[in-house]
Amino acid sequence: MTTRRAQNISEAKLNRLLELNQCLREQLDVPRITVSSASSSLIEYCKNTKDPMVPSVWGPIDKKEDPFAPAAGGGCCAVM
């Protein structure tokens, strides 16, 4: 009986190691870029993308372009 239990524990450990090994192989296959490339890409994005939350840098933004502006018009219904 104890031999069978030891075998089950060994099989469970083996399965866990195989799963971990598979996860590590998948992580190894993830495409990577250098830090300098990623940082230069981030800098370009920040330079070219207007941020309505930073008007001191980009100036006032038109209400039509501002996603945070309240919706214009009275298309709302009231429940009494």
Residue 29 to residue 44: CA distance in whole angstroms: 27
pLDDT in tens, 8-57: 889 999 999 999 999 999 999 999 999 999 999 999 998 888 777 777 77
Residue 30 to residue 23: CA distance in whole angstroms: 11
- Quote the pLDDT of residue 80: 60
Residue 44 CA: distances (Å) to CA of 32, 47, 62: 19, 5, 23
